[in-house]
């Protein structure tokens, strides 16, 4: 792994064993991209990859007889107004109204390791040997401003991370009206674009479409979160690429606020991918001496299909984005009372539910919404972070002690960024809402957004929640956030700073997370936003797991978890077994399938176990035993493989294989049952071809070699599916390496 600079040819080669990114300093001082893709051997001169030629209507940006034109050139950080008519990576409005900028190379620095980003989450290294970083400094002499483009290449992964920074030195003010984290160019357009799109309760469905000339973009403008509608991720894959073979380029933005991710294809078949904070509503004034730092983009190259890309994201995010005590640990099996009680509970009811949970082997009890202020429904109470003594006479301190005395850990739900108008917090601080003067204050779920762009608001919330956390015994926090932003306006910001509000809001959220995770390093944080509207790498830096979706139906969850796994590690997916009929879909799925899906995540329950039959309770006990035995493999150690896609047919299949290929767990799920069905085989992935495995499922046992299991597969036994109820039935397989009999 290294960053090489060839002085004679002014070429940078950012590379490791898997990937190469080759840049060079052009005649006009800007940085050109010569190549990005599978690793190629280094050499001094790649200048033949610069494509140039006189064309009609071409704007030339160097003195004659030069013919360099930005119109047809692959650039590292393109701007508008110098002859390039595609979308720019940055717009800087100057005091005279001009938005022309011209950043030219001045210097660069290459150093081992990776620097943290100020105030922003980012992937990190634990030792300098893990990565090398290149920072290229460019300068615009008219406004006296530096642009720093930063690249880090990891030794062990096909990963390059990028970000950009502005340092303004000049005396005049400048205004950033858009600044992307990275822009990446490809010389052709023979790609499909892959994105994760959805909505509440059907988050992160995989959508794939052919790249066409023009702009295809996804965006999040929810203000408070990356959103359930679009995830801050996109990939370009070759049309023939499958889960297992072919090339993919992934782009993931480590950010939780408004974002733009787009691919623009020029009429010369060149593709430009850009990603960063969405320019809508963003306007950032910089005075002399001030800086602006963009979030980071994590770029993954795979020539092993979509599974290859996902496995890289999974390993990197699990070990170099997640942090703290829980990063390398299997997660506790929890029971959450939300779908068991909603707001209707008191201490007695909670203890009754917790007692049963303890009996079956649950390790952590989580008290969800409704424990504070006058929170008896969702019209009131948010903002008042003190206990409701009518429901819990001994407070959270008393309840948490009683739960711990049962032998369970205790966890608590909060929604720190929000306020109901019916709350003491609002009555005392009506000006703390994000809302615009003289405009109707739009509401969602009867609540409003607190202005986290203001330090005093964040401080107040920090103090009130810290008090609860200190006086009680709390091992886990579910940090919820249940609405998008409207009327984005900060009551105390100057008119010229209103365009900072939404980004500063997210920085405020990150700051509160930082302070709470530093002060309570043992607490396991789970992020949540009306289910999965905040499933992004930004939040993963602070909270190592996220509630994947409010949709807990065993069938629907297959799609949601399959899509989420495109980028995010299995251990980050909050996944629970809930009651039937399901509360979102009114569908009944077998208890075994609900567990077989939830195993591929953090695993827990979201129901009152007292309402289950004796037989079901026995099944639950077995499920918990299974998960305790396999969670280290599934959550920490294994590689996840998608096998059959719920977006393509009736069936879903996936599996996890240990790094040493000695152990695996796989699952097959069907949606509707089929009569007189065709034959179908479960073909495993990622095994050692020559290894003999013992495969167990239901009452069956088979000994077979890795290559048999992967290429011939095991026939799906329709009788087993019928016995399990047919529709939404599933099969769970365990595989253990065994010695051959001599
Ligand atoms: C939305 C979350 O997704 C649910 O799990 C639950 O915590 C509710 N909020 C509580 O209001």
Q: Which of 548, 117, 487 is nearest to 293 (CA)?
A: 117
> Up-side HSE of residue 96: CA atoms within 13 Å toward CB?
5
Q: How far apart are CA 77 and CA 87, in angstroms?
A: 11
- Give residue 285's region: left, alpha or beta (phi > 0; psi -120 to 50): beta
Q: Which of 131, 185, 184 is nearest to 158 (CA)?
A: 131
pLDDT at 742: 62
CA-based R_g, the chain, Å = 27
Tally Cβ neighbours within 10 Å of residue 288: 13
Q: Is 102 a catalytic residue?
A: no
What b-and-e string marks burial along 680-690, b requiring 16 or more CB atoms within 10 Å of the CB?
A: bebebbbbbee
The closest-lying atom of ligand 1 relative to the alpha carbon of residue 368 is 7
Q: Which residue has the tokens 């290229």?
A: 136
In three-state secondary structure terms, 734 is strand
Q: From ligand 1's centre to the CA of 412, what distance in Å?
A: 12
What b-and-e string marks burial along 116-153, b requiring 16 or more CB atoms within 10 Å of the CB?
A: ebeebbbbbbeeeebbbbbbbbbbbeebebbbbbbbbb
Q: How far apart are CA 167 and CA 176, in angstroms?
A: 12
Q: From ligand 1's centre to the CA of 465, what distance in Å?
A: 18
Best substitution site from 367, 482, 532 to test ligand 1's pocket, by max atoms within 8 Å of Cβ?
A: 482
Q: Is 532 a pocket residue for ligand 1 (Cβ < 6 Å)?
A: no
The backbone torsions φ and ψ at residue 461, rounded to the nearest 5 degrees and listed phi first, read -65, -40
Q: Is 308 a pocket residue for ligand 1 (Cβ < 6 Å)?
A: no
Which among 303, 550, 551, 639 is annotated as catalytic?
550
Q: How far apart are CA 571 and CA 599, in angstroms?
A: 10
Q: Which of 262, 374, 244, 354 is nearest to 307 (CA)?
A: 244
Contact 305, 245 (CB under 8 A): yes
Q: From ligand 1's centre to the CA of 478, what distance in Å?
A: 9
Contact 179, 286 (CB under 8 A): no
C-alpha angle with apex 360: 356 to 362, nearest 5 degrees?
90
Q: Is 526 a pocket residue for ligand 1 (Cβ < 6 Å)?
A: no
Q: Is 549 a pocket residue for ligand 1 (Cβ < 6 Å)?
A: no
Q: Is 528 a pocket residue for ligand 1 (Cβ < 6 Å)?
A: yes
Q: Are strands 230-237 and 248-254 parallel, antiparallel or unpaired?
A: antiparallel
Q: Is 550 a pocket residue for ligand 1 (Cβ < 6 Å)?
A: yes
Q: How far apart are CA 19 and CA 731, in angstroms?
A: 38
Q: Tokens representing 170?
A: 């000049």
The closest-lying atom of ligand 1 relative to the alpha carbon of residue 529 is 3
Which among 480, 553, 608, 651 is annotated as catalytic?
480
In order along the chain (742 residues), what is the average pLDDT of each group of 10 residues? 94 98 97 98 97 91 94 96 96 97 98 97 98 98 98 98 98 98 98 98 98 98 98 98 98 98 97 98 98 98 98 98 98 98 98 98 98 97 97 97 98 98 98 97 98 98 96 97 98 97 98 98 98 98 98 98 98 98 97 98 98 98 98 98 98 98 98 95 98 97 98 96 97 96 66
Q: Is 317 a pocket residue for ligand 1 (Cβ < 6 Å)?
A: no
Query: pLDDT by residue (tens digit) across 10-40?
Result: 999 999 999 999 999 999 999 999 999 999 9
Q: Is 479 a pocket residue for ligand 1 (Cβ < 6 Å)?
A: no
The closest-lying atom of ligand 1 relative to the alpha carbon of residue 531 is 3
- Using CA atoms, how far residue 58 sits from 29, 33, 55, 69, 671, in Å, is 19, 20, 6, 7, 56
Q: Which residue has the tokens 């026939």?
A: 715
Q: Which residue has the tokens 């400048």?
A: 174
Q: From ligand 1's centre to the CA of 605, what distance in Å?
A: 14
Q: How far apart are CA 340 and CA 338, in angstroms?
A: 5
The backbone torsions φ and ψ at residue 521, rounded to the nearest 5 degrees and listed phi first, read -65, -20
What is the distance between the terminal CA atoms of the chain, rounded to a whole angstrom?
45
Q: From ligand 1's centre to the CA of 535, what distance in Å?
A: 14
Q: Is 533 a pocket residue for ligand 1 (Cβ < 6 Å)?
A: no
Q: Is 413 a pocket residue for ligand 1 (Cβ < 6 Å)?
A: yes
Q: How far apart are CA 493 and CA 223, in angstroms?
A: 17
Q: Is 368 a pocket residue for ligand 1 (Cβ < 6 Å)?
A: yes
Q: Tokens representing 451?
A: 């202005």
Specify the DSSP class assigned to residue 116: P
Q: From ligand 1's centre to the CA of 480, what distance in Å?
A: 7
C-alpha angle with apex 597: 593 to 599, nearest 5 degrees?
115
Segment (H or E) for 517: helix 501-519
Q: Is 480 a catalytic residue?
A: yes
Q: From ligand 1's centre to the CA of 564, what distance in Å?
A: 19
Q: From ligand 1's centre to the CA of 730, what distance in Å?
A: 28
Nearest-CA residue for ligand 1 atom 9 is 530
Contact 544, 524 (CB under 8 A): yes
pLDDT at 740: 83
- Give residue 323's region: left, alpha or beta (phi > 0; psi -120 to 50): beta
């Amino acid at each position: 792994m290294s960053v090489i600079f060839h002085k004679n040819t002014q070429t940078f080669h950012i590379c490791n064993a898997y990937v190469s990114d080759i840049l060079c300093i052009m005649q006009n001082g800007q940085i050109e991209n010569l190549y990005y893709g599978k690793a190629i051997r280094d050499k001094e001169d790649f200048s033949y990859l610069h494509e140039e030629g006189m064309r009609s209507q071409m704007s030339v940006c160097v003195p004659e007889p030069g013919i360099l034109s930005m119109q047809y050139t692959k650039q590292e950080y393109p701007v508008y107004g110098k002859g390039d008519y595609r979308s720019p990576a940055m717009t800087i409005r100057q005091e005279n109204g001009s938005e022309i900028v011209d950043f030219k190379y001045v210097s660069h620095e290459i150093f081992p390791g990776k620097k943290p980003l100020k105030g922003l989450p980012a992937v990190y290294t634990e030792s300098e040997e893990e990565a090398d970083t290149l920072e290229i400094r460019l300068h615009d002499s008219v406004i006296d401003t530096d642009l720093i483009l930063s690249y880090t290449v990891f030794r062990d992964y096909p990963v390059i991370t990028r970000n950009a920074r502005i340092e303004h030195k000049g005396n005049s003010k400048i205004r950033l009206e858009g600044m992307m984290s990275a822009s990446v160019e490809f010389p052709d357009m023979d790609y499909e674009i892959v994105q994760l799109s959805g909505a509440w309760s059907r988050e992160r469905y995989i959508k794939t479409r052919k790249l066409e000339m023009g702009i295809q973009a996804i965006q999040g403008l929810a203000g408070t979160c990356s959103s359930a509608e679009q995830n801050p991720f996109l990939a370009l894959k070759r049309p023939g690429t499958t889960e297992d073979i072919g090339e993919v380029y992934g782009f993931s933005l480590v950010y939780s606020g408004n974002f733009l991710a787009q691919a623009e294809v020029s009429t010369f078949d060149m593709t430009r991918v850009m990603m960063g904070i969405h320019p809508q509503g963003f306007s950032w004034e910089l005075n002399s001496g001030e800086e602006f730092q963009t979030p980071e983009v994590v770029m993954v190259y795979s020539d092993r299909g979509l599974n290859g890309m996902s496995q890289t994201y999974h390993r990197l995010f699990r070990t170099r984005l997640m942090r703290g005590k829980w990063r390398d640990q299997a997660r506790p099996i929890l029971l959450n009372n939300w779908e068991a009680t909603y707001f209707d509970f008191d201490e007695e009811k909670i203890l009754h539910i917790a007692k049963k949970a303890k009996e079956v082997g649950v390790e952590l009890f989580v008290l969800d919404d409704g424990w504070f202020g006058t929170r008896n429904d969702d019209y009131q109470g948010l903002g008042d972070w003190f206990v409701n003594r009518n429901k819990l006479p001994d407070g959270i301190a008393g309840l948490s002690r009683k739960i711990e005395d049962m032998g369970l850990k205790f966890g608590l739900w909060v929604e720190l960024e929000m306020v109901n108008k019916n709350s003491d917090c609002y009555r005392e601080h009506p000006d703390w809402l994000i809302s615009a003067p003289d405009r109707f204050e739009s509401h969602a779920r009867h609540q409003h957004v607190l202005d986290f762009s203001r330090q005093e608001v964040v401080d107040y919330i920090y103090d009130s929640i810290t008090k609860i956390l200190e006086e009680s015994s709390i091992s886990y926090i579910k940090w919820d956030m249940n609405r998008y932003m409207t009327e984005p306006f900060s009551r105390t910001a100057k008119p010229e700073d209103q365009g900072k509000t939404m980004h500063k809001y997210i920085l405020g959220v990150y700051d509160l997370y930082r302070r709470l995770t530093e002060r309570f390093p043992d607490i396991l944080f789970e992020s949540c936003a009306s289910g999965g509207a905040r499933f992004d790498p930004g939040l993963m830096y602070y909270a190592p797991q996220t509630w994947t979706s409010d949709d807990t139906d065993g069938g629907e969850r297959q799609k949601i978890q399959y899509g989420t796994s495109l980028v995010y590690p299995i251990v980050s997916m909050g996944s629970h077994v809930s009651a039937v009929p399901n509360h979102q879909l009114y569908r009944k799925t077998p208890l075994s399938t609900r567990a077989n899906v939830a195993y591929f995540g953090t695993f827990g329950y979201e129901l009152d176990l007292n309402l289950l039959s004796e037989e079901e309770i026995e099944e639950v006990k077995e499920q918990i035993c299974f998960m305790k035995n396999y969670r280290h493999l599934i959550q920490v150690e294994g590689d996840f493989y998608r096998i059959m896609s719920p977006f393509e047919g009736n069936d879903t299949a996936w599996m996890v294989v240990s790094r040493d290929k000695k152990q695996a767990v796989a699952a097959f799920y069907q949606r509707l049952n089929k009569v007189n069905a065709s034959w179908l085989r479960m073909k495993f992935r990622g095994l050692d071809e020559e290894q003999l495995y013992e495969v167990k499922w239901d009452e069956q046992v088979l000994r077979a070699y890795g290559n048999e299991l992967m290429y011939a597969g095991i026939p799906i036994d329709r009788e087993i599916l019928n016995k399990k109820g047919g529709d939404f039935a599933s099969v769970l397989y365990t595989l253990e390496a065994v010695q051959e009999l001599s």
